[in-house]
């Protein structure tokens, strides 16, 4: 039986370190009720045009969850001695309080599901069919919300694969000590350096992934390469060169991309933010206009996977592991349809992460001092962008000095009031950094207008009149930064960004234990 309608004071109802036991479900009148069971695997499809949403379940993942749970309860039959040692070490409940950074349940379930698919005895996988992406190598995807610890799962994958490969070099399961990790940009690539076993700051030591010092030393023999996915792009021809070198062959491509890994065969591939890595099915037709609306360059959209296909031809990919919070490929259909990756094997989505206290609870400003819509009785701020005076104004080319729509300014006044209260509360608690007010804009012109509104002192609250604390990220400049190019189009703005960075005076160095503060706090209250 479901609990009666509730007005929750907190959405956090589960422990991050145990399987979810309950979830919030929505009634037809948008109130919440507490369901005393785990949320089924799935996702929401939101139709912004008709203001509707619907839940879509993933029955395959629910079936796999049951199989994995049974397999776990019976002691993981079929696994190697190395894998068993790792699983016992990772699941050891007696070590939870001793670990500096305990594992979240979703992390353990994700790696366990991948192991189950490869090592469980056949009867535990009977009747389960995981449809691939149409390519010639296997792909498995862990759907994990941002903030639920995907990087730790990648470290677990590397530990499991490498230690088995070095211990059982002739195993028919084809483990690999050569791991090619593909990142979606230079920022993520830099963050993933913690997956290099030889680095001083690494997750293998921080999370105590190896049950013994001997296995930890063996892990140092791994060959791990982390690259931006743009290295998988074919080299552009030297049109103006006197010497015509011709198209890059698959072998030359492989040696260029893999470098030190080019001497290996049967590689393990890990795709971070794998929703960028897809091949378009033959029955999906997407026009250039539709692609542009989705922010997709059709000429580059499938290059990631095409590059992996070329590596598979020359070196073989033993298996490919994908991690993504949103494993969907664009379909070219209406916004009521999505192309969920058919190789998703585990699911811990945003709602699960909110209910486990792993991510911040979102808030939406819905109050205002104007009369509500006469038909819906909703405040205008509930769907600010749909108001005609807002949509018409923000969907045009405009100069940065042009005033924002009045309704947008009112929304910022209310949001700014909340910001001031939160900033005062944080300061009283001794927090070094103030809270952040984040705006995602529909156009670069709108972003410039928002920046002008705050930086030039037009916002209601004086605390928000600070140019060196107002940071605009232009999508074109950001794209160039991710590609490693120098942003030369706007030198003045480059100097402005430098001034912001210098004014910030960051006191916590990148890679410090502070990034794990939330995990320790959650472990203490879990």
Same domain membership, residue 299 and residue 160: yes
66 in Cβ contact with 50 (< 8 Å): no
Q: Please indicate, yes or no, if residue 156 is contained in any of the structural domains.
A: yes
Give the Cα separation of 276 and 479 in Å (integer): 14
Could you tell me which of 167, 199, 195, 200 has the C-alpha nearest to residue 179?
195
Q: Please indicate, yes or no, if residue 461 is contained in any of the structural domains.
A: yes
- Tell me, what's the pLDDT at 512? 39
Q: Please indicate, yes or no, if residue 20 is contained in any of the structural domains.
A: no
Q: Please indicate, yes or no, if residue 167 is contained in any of the structural domains.
A: yes
pLDDT under 70: residue ranges of the chain: 1-7, 47-51, 96-97, 237-246, 280-301, 330-338, 362-380, 382, 474-494, 496-497, 500-501, 503-526
199-237 burial, b at 16+ Cβ within 10 Å, e below that, comes to: eeebbbebbbbbbeeebbebbeebbbbbbbbbbbbeeee
Task: List 344's β-bridge partners, or say none.
Answer: 141
pLDDT tens for each residue of 328-345: 876 655 444 567 899 999
Which of 355, 371, 406 terminates a domain? The answer is 355
Same domain membership, residue 389 and residue 335: no
- Tell me, what's the pLDDT at 71? 97
Give the Cα separation of 178 and 247 in Å (integer): 27
Give the Cα separation of 166 and 324 in Å (integer): 28
Tally of domains in the chain: 2
- Tell me, what's the pLDDT at 206? 94
Give me the phi and psi of 504, to 5 degrees please: -70, -35
Token look-up 């700051």 returns 201
Same domain membership, residue 331 and residue 186: yes
395 in Cβ contact with 449 (< 8 Å): no
- Tell me, what's the pLDDT at 366? 57
Same domain membership, residue 416 and residue 292: no
481 in Cβ contact with 487 (< 8 Å): yes
- 516 CB-side CA count, 13 A: 19
Ramachandran class of 457: left when φ > 0, alpha when ψ lies in -120 to 50, beta otherwise: left
Same domain membership, residue 338 and residue 196: yes
Here the tokens at position 429 are: 């608690």
Q: What is the CATH number of the domain that holds 192?
A: 3.40.50
Q: pTM for this one?
A: 0.79
Give the Cα separation of 107 and 348 in Å (integer): 9
Q: Please indicate, yes or no, if residue 329 is contained in any of the structural domains.
A: yes
Give the Cα separation of 441 and 117 in Å (integer): 42
Could you tell me which of 145, 61, 98, 50 has the C-alpha nearest to residue 353?
145
Burial class (CB in 10 A: 0-12, 13-18, 19+), 321: buried
Could you tell me which of 315, 338, 317, 305 has the C-alpha nearest to residue 134?
305
Q: Please indicate, yes or no, if residue 300 is contained in any of the structural domains.
A: yes
Same domain membership, residue 261 and residue 211: yes
370-384 burial, b at 16+ Cβ within 10 Å, e below that, comes to: eeeeeeeeebbbbbb
Could you tell me which of 408, 498, 400 has the C-alpha nearest to residue 444?
400
| Helix H or strand E segment including 24 | strand 23-26
Same domain membership, residue 207 and residue 119: yes
Look at the alpha carbons of 11, 17, 20, 22 in this order and tell me if their dihedral is positive or negative: negative
458 in Cβ contact with 401 (< 8 Å): no
Angle in degrees, CA 56, 58, 59, rounded to 5: 125
CA-to-CA dists, residue 319 to 275, 301, 310, 334, 408, angstroms: 17, 22, 15, 33, 49
Could you tell me which of 523, 518, 517 has the C-alpha nearest to residue 105?
523
300 in Cβ contact with 307 (< 8 Å): no
Same domain membership, residue 203 and residue 115: yes
Q: Please indicate, yes or no, if residue 203 is contained in any of the structural domains.
A: yes
Here the tokens at position 135 are: 């390519």
User: Where are the strands (E) in 338-471, listed by range?
Assistant: 339-340, 344-348
| Helix H or strand E segment including 447 | helix 444-455
- 146 CB-side CA count, 13 A: 7
DSSP string of 136-200? SS-EEEEEE-TTS-HHHHHHHHHHHHHHHHHH-TT-TT---SEEEEEESSHHHHHHGGGG-TTSS
Give the Cα separation of 495 and 472 in Å (integer): 13
- Tell me, what's the pLDDT at 468? 77
Task: Using DSSP, state whether 6 is helix, strand or coil.
Answer: strand
Same domain membership, residue 274 and residue 328: yes
Which of 355, 389, 405 terminates a domain? The answer is 355
State the residue range of the domain holding 153.
Answer: 59-237+257-355
Burial class (CB in 10 A: 0-12, 13-18, 19+), 439: middle
Same domain membership, residue 428 and residue 312: no
Same domain membership, residue 421 and residue 342: no
Could you tell me which of 292, 158, 311 has the C-alpha nearest to residue 229?
311
Classify strands 32-35 and 23-26 as parallel, antiparallel or unpaired: antiparallel
Q: Please indicate, yes or no, if residue 2 is contained in any of the structural domains.
A: no
Task: List 319's β-bridge partners, or say none.
Answer: 268
Same domain membership, residue 230 and residue 117: yes
């Amino acid at each position: 039986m479901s609990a009666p309608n509730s007005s929750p004071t907190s959405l956090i109802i589960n422990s991050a370190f145990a399987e979810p036991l309950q979830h919030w479900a929505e009634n037809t009148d948008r109130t919440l009720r507490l369901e005393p069971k785990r949320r089924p695997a799935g996702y929401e499809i939101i139709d912004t045009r008709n203001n509707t949403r619907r839940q879509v379940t993933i029955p395959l993942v629910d079936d796999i969850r049951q199989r994995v749970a049974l397999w776990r309860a019976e002691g993981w039959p079929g696994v190697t001695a190395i894998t068993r040692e790792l699983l016992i070490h990772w699941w050891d409940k007696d070590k939870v309080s001793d670990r500096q950074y305990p594992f979240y349940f979703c992390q353990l379930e994700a790696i366990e599901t991948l192991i189950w698919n490869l090592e469980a005895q056949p009867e535990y996988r009977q009747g389960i069919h995981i449809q691939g992406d149409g390519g010639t190598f296997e792909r498995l995807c862990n759907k994990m919300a941002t903030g639920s610890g995907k990087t730790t799962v990648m470290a677990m994958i590397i530990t499991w694969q490498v230690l088995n490969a070095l211990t059982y070099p002739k195993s028919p399961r084809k483990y690999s000590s050569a791991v090619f990790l593909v990142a979606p940009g230079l920022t993520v690539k830099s963050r993933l350096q913690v997956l290099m076993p030889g680095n001083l700051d690494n997750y293998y030591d921080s999370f105590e992934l190896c049950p013994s010092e001997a296995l930890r030393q063996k892990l140092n023999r791994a060959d791990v390469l982390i690259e931006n996915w743009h290295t998988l792009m074919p080299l552009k021809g030297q049109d103006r060169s006197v010497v015509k070198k011709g198209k890059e062959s698959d072998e030359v491509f492989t040696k260029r991309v893999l470098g030190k890994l080019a001497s290996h065969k049967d590689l393990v591939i890990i795709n971070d933010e794998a929703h960028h890595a897809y091949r378009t099915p033959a029955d999906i037709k997407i026009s250039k206009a539709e692609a542009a609306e989705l922010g997709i360059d059709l000429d580059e959209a499938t290059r990631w996977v095409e590059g992996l296909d070329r590596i598979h031809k020359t070196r073989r990919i033993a298996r490919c592991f994908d991690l993504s919070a949103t494993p969907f490929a664009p379909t070219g259909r209406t916004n009521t349809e999505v192309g969920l990756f058919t190789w998703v094997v585990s699911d811990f989505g945003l709602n699960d992460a909110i209910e486990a206290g792993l991510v911040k609870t979102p808030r939406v400003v819905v109050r205002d001092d104007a009369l509500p819509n006469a038909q819906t009785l909703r405040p205008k701020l509930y769907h600010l962008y749909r108001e005609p005076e807002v949509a018409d104004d923000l969907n045009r080319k405009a100069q940065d000095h042009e005033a924002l729509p009045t309704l947008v300014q009112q929304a910022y006044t209310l949001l700014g009031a909340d910001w001031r209260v939160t900033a005062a509360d944080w300061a009283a608690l001794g927090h070094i950094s103030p809270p952040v007010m984040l705006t995602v804009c529909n156009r670069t012109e709108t972003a410039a207008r928002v920046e002008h509104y705050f930086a030039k002192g037009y916002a209601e609250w004086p605390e928000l009149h600070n140019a060196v604390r107002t940071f605009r990220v232009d999508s074109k400049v950001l794209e160039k930064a991710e590609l490693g190019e120098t942003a030369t189009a706007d030198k003045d703005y480059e100097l402005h960004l430098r001034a912001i960075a210098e004014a910030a005076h960051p006191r916590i160095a990148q890679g410090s234990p502070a990034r794990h503060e939330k995990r320790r706090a959650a472990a203490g209250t879990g």
